[in-house]
Amino acid sequence: MLIEFSVANYKSFKDEAHLSLVAGAGTEHRDTHVLSPSMPTGIRPIRLLRSAVIYGPNAAGKTNLLSALAAMKTIVRRSAPGLDEQLLPPFKFDPACETRPTSLEAVFVMDGVRYQYGFAATPEEIVREWLYAWPRGRVQIWFDRSPEHGGIKYGHQLTGDREVWRRATRPDALLLSTAVNLNSRQLQPVYDWFTRLQVAGIGGWSSNFSLECCQDERKDRIVQFLRAADLAIADVRPLEAGEDPSPSSLQTGLNWAETRGKLRLRHDVPGANGEGELDLADESFGTQKIFALAGPWLDTLENGYVVAFDELHGNLHPALARFLIECFHSPAVNTKGAQLIFTTHETAILSQDIFRRDQVWFCERNAGQETTLYPLADFRPRKGVHNLERAYLGGRYGAVPLIAPDQLSQSDTTVTE
């Protein structure tokens, strides 16, 4: 479970920004929106939020925040052979940032242990890397890699072939990735947390995983998910070998290339006598998106993953967006402590009926093109009183576009022939 994520000198983030999923003192939705991960006996539990939503105008940096999270995951999983310089673009509007490292840090709980792991890196090398752990409630420094320490400083609680890891870790590779590749069991849970992190861009996921689920016993869960979303779908049926898809699907559908000849959805149509079927590619973009989400959404909930999703509202009715969010807020559905972080422009769900006040965040861009990330809680909205949607659209919290249609006026335009 994610506690906090921090980023600095990455794309539009010049100064350090922090996204926290630590629950505040508010009592609203406490039984549904807040959870405490299992910790060893005697260790004070941490109250964490099941979701966080980020609002802001276009080009404010919302996507960049999730991109930083995805970049951290990719570097942890793939840095052993070397860094991909395209993963760490610094802030471009200050020349001094070009030579500064990008900093990424995640604080999280895995298997009942709290970890704080991060690194600072340029496209060419890892400048610093650190890992702290709280296995017994008190902080332990497992390693700190920095020029000040002359390389890598290990804490005595970290066991294993530490000198082998030191020699094997190149300047452009993470010690964490290298040590895990060399069979460090103690560091494996830290690495595994990043493999469990799911990040989806604006286009979301492809339909491939949901299609795979429909080939086995998971199909019933997919159908149950689609019916719960009120899509009037009674069943899904993989096409049999040699069965032709409908001709109209050749020219319509968001994901035709990956769905052609693979799946049909049967709708509740009285008296249709089997003709109430459509190829997935014939369905609306919204239905295709919900189908593509079904497999990963259920997998995330059933395994307690963290998922970050950019523009969750795309092609979806506000009620469907709320349905997806409330899957995470339901203790009966979300039994493993899965968490959802997402960006959206959909203000119909910006309500104290849906979110706690500490779950809402904003991204805003200043005159220097720098992104600032800040929580709704800074404005101290009154519990159950303030209309969050109206206040946000009215500009009370910032992070709204300053639109100036008058700038399109041609009254001062000089026409030359």
CB of 76 closer than 8 Å to CB of 191: yes
Mean per-residue pLDDT, 21-40: 94
To 10 degrees, the CA torsion angle through 304, 356, 204, 13? Answer: -100
Predicted confidence at residue 397, as pLDDT, reads 96
Mean per-residue pLDDT, 391-403: 93
Mean per-residue pLDDT, 127-137: 94
The model carries a pTM of 0.90
Q: Burial code of 368-403, b = ≥16 C-beta within 10 A, e = fewer?
A: eebbbbbbbbebebeeeebebeeebeeeebbbbeee
Task: Say how far apart CA 167 and CA 350 lie, in whole Å.
Answer: 52
Q: Burial code of 154-163, b = ≥16 C-beta within 10 A, e = fewer?
A: beeebeeeee
Question: What's the number of CA atoms in the CB half-sphere (13 Å) around residue 68?
Answer: 31
User: How high does pLDDT run on average in the chain?
Assistant: 89
Mean per-residue pLDDT, 235-251: 57
Predicted confidence at residue 273, as pLDDT, reads 59
Task: Name the pLDDT band for 160 (thresholds 50, 70, 90).
Answer: very high
CB of 84 closer than 8 Å to CB of 328: no
- Cα-based distances in Å from 218 to 199, 244, 255, 294, 410: 22, 25, 21, 11, 59
Predicted confidence at residue 44, as pLDDT, reads 86
CB of 328 closer than 8 Å to CB of 355: no
Task: Name the pLDDT band for 244 (thresholds 50, 70, 90).
Answer: very low
Helix or strand (DSSP H, E) at 8: strand 2-8
Mean per-residue pLDDT, 161-186: 94
Give the long-range contacts of residues 14-17, CB within 8 A, separation 24 or more.
Answer: 14/91, 14/93, 14/94, 14/97, 14/368, 14/370, 14/371, 15/370, 16/103, 17/65, 17/371, 17/372, 17/373
Predicted confidence at residue 202, as pLDDT, reads 74
Task: Name the pLDDT band for 258 (thresholds 50, 70, 90).
Answer: low
Predicted confidence at residue 183, as pLDDT, reads 92
| N residues, the chain | 417
- Cα-based distances in Å from 347 to 184, 263, 287, 321: 46, 34, 21, 11
Query: Token digits for 375?
Result: 């929580």
In this structure, which amino acid lies at residue 114? R
Percentage with pLDDT > 70 across the chain: 91
CB of 123 closer than 8 Å to CB of 88: yes
Name which residue leads in pLDDT, 16 or 250.
16
* 288-325 per-position pLDDT tens digit: 999 999 999 999 999 999 999 999 998 899 999 999 99
Cβ burial, residue 55 (10 Å; 0-12/13-18/19+): buried
